[in-house]
Structure 1
Amino acid sequence: MWSNVESPVALNKTVSVSVPISSLIPGDSPRLAGENSEHVQLLAATQDLPPILVHQGTMRVIDGMHRLRAAQLRGDETISVTFFEGDDKEAFLLSVDSNIKHGLPLSLADREAAAFRILAEYRQWSDRAVAAAAGLSPTTVSAIRQRSFAPAERETGRVGRDGRVRPVDASAGRRRASEVIAMNPDAPLRAIAREAGVSVGTARDVRERLRAGQDPVLTSRHVCAKEREPSQNTRQSIDWRSVRGDLSRDPAVRYAENGRAFVRWVDGHLIDPVEWGALIDAVPPHWQGSVAELARSCAGAWLELARELEQRASPARP
């Protein structure tokens, strides 16, 4: 298993060699539909293709099938290659990681299928670790785990993105955090989190609940009540995943370049509350005001987009 879950493979991509195209074998791609012919033709017109990534022991392509097909299309006999040495499971993880970071984006179905496979191979990984590897939100990974796999027997902890093992039952960590706070109420949140083995966000929530005289452990009844009672000022949330598939299959979107570009754009600009909740502590105090204004500006832009779409969707008045 990789020692660093978030950046699992240390790969020297500066060393590449030229190999005969005939020596290469299609690899275990995370793309369910295979290569995109339009993308291949676009790459074929590129003068210098970046090196592809190949598993040295088998000569199977880990990342770069579109570039390989483009080279074949224009009649090249050789292609630049960077080699990777590792087992098949690591090769697949690297393939997914490479495809979600550059080139033609993986579809939601591709990423969900990849998450299923990663969960099957690495049951001990946390939802956040699998989410980072597959390019999904932790909530999506959690749903895939729950519907696809039976709870592991005697599973007490999971490996997080930082390589640390954390308990599956969060209540134990919350109790430890409350004990740390009781002994040192003014301790910094990071120190509390480190001592209790919880996230900084959990440490903050425990401290706020203690200050309010509440139980630091969230009961299932409390969590369900929060989910069932949305604010009167908020609309019912619509999950992008629930509409993306139908939108992508619509011929008006699927066969239009600007339609496909719109779907890719939304994929890259949506924010899952769980994801920003894990990153918000990375913002230094002296930048919090500026970042808050930036977030408010982005929210305003989304509201303008919503208003424009609603106006276009409304029937014209007589």
Structure 2
Amino acid sequence: MGPQVDPTKVDTGALPVVEIELSRLSSVCSPRTTGEDPEHVESLLSAEGELPPILVHRPTMRVIDGLHRLKVARVRGDTTIVARCFDGTESDAFVLAVEANVRHGLPLSLADRKRAAIQIIGTHPQWSDRRVASATGISAGTVADLRRRRGEDGNEARIGRDGRIRPVDGSEGRKLAAELIRSDPGLSLRQVARKVGISPETVRDVRGRLERGESLVPDGSRRLRAKPQPVGWAEPDFGRSVDRDRRAVLERLKADPALRLSEAGRILLRMLAMHSIEGQEWGRILHGVPPHLCGVVAGFAKDYARVWAEFADRLENRATDVAAG
């Protein structure tokens, strides 16, 4: 058994490429229960050039990523295949297999992603719902539901995607964050987050709740009530995130020479305009995503959301520094 590592932080592209005999390889590690897809194999057979190396768990010689490439090699009559080898534990190898199959190639089905999440919850119970969700391409809410069904919801603290340990019950952290925000409104999201030990996104939520006069701790009742209702794209929840006042501000920004006359400013304006579409348009885009690509697109959306959050934090820090200087 290899050393304990964080599989979500392994740069598999940096692993050395080796040549392995096909007879030594096994496909038991795959999270794909339906086996190889004949059409995908055919498309790889007709592809020009060399296929990328597969990923193999060296201790067991199980294929982590590349079952279809392995099938192609066997159909062509090859005796060896190029591969990169991972030396971690079998449970970490499975996480890598799930991530690889969620984010590229032929995506996993929703059923396979849920089964993978259940297995990862069992082997990595200390991981947060969001961390498991990021690896499997399903929502954190679905992971939480799967965890409750397994009766494994008792951990007092879990490790998040950033590697930090946080309590499952974050109410105390939210209260401390609120006290800091009230006593020093000039603190940035990251400054509060570091002092309290919670994420900047949680601090952002706390600040918004203070401004709106809402409870600091989400009770989840609205989310539970809304879940069984059919999605009405005439008036979706996320469509209200960019209201008329915000759109009016955007129109003023478009006329501001400081943005309009610089290349970076014009890029920023185009990005802001792209996200300011109506809720009905969001609905058309959502329903236009093929079911077999939902996990992949969701992964991109979450990654881009994190980029925007980091961008917002840096802007707030910059505004704070300018005001203090």
SS at match of 2:29: coil
Match among 98, 101, 111 for residue 99 of structure 1: 101
Matched, 1:148 2:150: yes
Q: Which residue is equivalent to 2:25?
A: 24
Query: Aligned-pair RMSD on alpha carbons?
Result: 3.3
**Offset from partner CA, 1:239-269 (integer Å, 9 cap, x none):** xxxxxxxxxxxxxxxxxxxxxx933345544
Deviates more, 1:42-51 or 1:224-233: 224-233
TM-score w.r.t. length of structure 2: 0.69
Number of residue pairs matched?
A: 259
Q: Which residue is equivalent to 1:89?
A: 91
One-letter amino acid of the counterpart of residue 69, structure 2: R
Contact 1:178 1:210 (C-alpha < 8 Å) held by counterparts: yes
Q: Which residue is equivalent to 2:191?
A: 191
Contact 2:19 2:82 (C-alpha < 8 Å) held by counterparts: yes
SS at match of 2:81: strand
**In the TM superposition, what is the alpha-carbon distance from 1:215 to its structure 2 partner?**
4.1
Matched, 1:114 2:121: no
**Offset from partner CA, 1:79-102 (integer Å, 9 cap, x none):** 112122122111111111221222
Cα distance in 2, alignment partners of residues 60 and 226 from structure 1: 41
| Distance change >3 Å, CA 263–CA 217, structure 1 → 2 | closer
| Distance change >3 Å, CA 129–CA 265, structure 1 → 2 | closer
**Offset from partner CA, 1:59-80 (integer Å, 9 cap, x none):** 2222111111111111112111
**In the TM superposition, what is the alpha-carbon distance from 1:182 to its structure 2 partner?**
3.0
**In the TM superposition, what is the alpha-carbon distance from 1:235 to its structure 2 partner?**
5.8
SS at match of 2:291: helix
SS at match of 2:107: coil
| Distance change >3 Å, CA 53–CA 203, structure 1 → 2 | same
Q: Which residue is equivalent to 1:224?
A: 221
Deviates more, 1:166-175 or 1:46-55: 46-55
| Distance change >3 Å, CA 188–CA 5, structure 1 → 2 | farther
Q: Which residue is equivalent to 2:56?
A: 54
**Offset from partner CA, 1:130-175 (integer Å, 9 cap, x none):** 01111222122112112223432xx221110011111111211111
Identity across the alignment (%): 40
SS at match of 1:283: helix
**Offset from partner CA, 1:208-248 (integer Å, 9 cap, x none):** 33344444334x3xx415654799973699xxxxxxxxxxx
**In the TM superposition, what is the alpha-carbon distance from 1:196 to its structure 2 partner?**
1.4
Cα distance in 2, alignment partners of residues 236 and 207 from structure 1: 20
Contact 1:6 1:129 (C-alpha < 8 Å) held by counterparts: no
One-letter amino acid of the counterpart of residue 130, structure 1: V
Contact 1:55 1:61 (C-alpha < 8 Å) held by counterparts: yes
**In the TM superposition, what is the alpha-carbon distance from 1:129 to its structure 2 partner?**
0.6
Q: Which residue is equivalent to 2:76?
A: 74
Deviates more, 1:71-80 or 1:177-186: 177-186
Cα distance in 1, alignment partners of residues 88 and 296 from structure 2: 30
Cα distance in 2, alignment partners of residues 232 and 62 from structure 1: 40
Matched, 1:283 2:280: no
| Distance change >3 Å, CA 2–CA 135, structure 1 → 2 | farther
Cα distance in 2, alignment partners of residues 269 and 216 from structure 1: 31
TM-score w.r.t. length of structure 1: 0.70
**In the TM superposition, what is the alpha-carbon distance from 1:16 to its structure 2 partner?**
1.3
Structure 2: any 5+ residue segments left out of the alignment?
239-288, 317-325
Cα distance in 1, alignment partners of residues 297 and 192 from structure 2: 33
Taking the TM superposition and a 5 Å limit, the aligned residue runs for 1:209-248 are 209-218=209-218, 220=219, 223-225=220-222, 228=225, 234=235
SS at match of 2:12: coil
One-letter amino acid of the counterpart of residue 206, structure 1: V
Deviates more, 1:51-60 or 1:115-124: 51-60
Contact 1:62 1:94 (C-alpha < 8 Å) held by counterparts: yes
Matched, 1:177 2:186: no
One-letter amino acid of the counterpart of residue 32, structure 1: T
Q: Which residue is equivalent to 1:296?
A: none
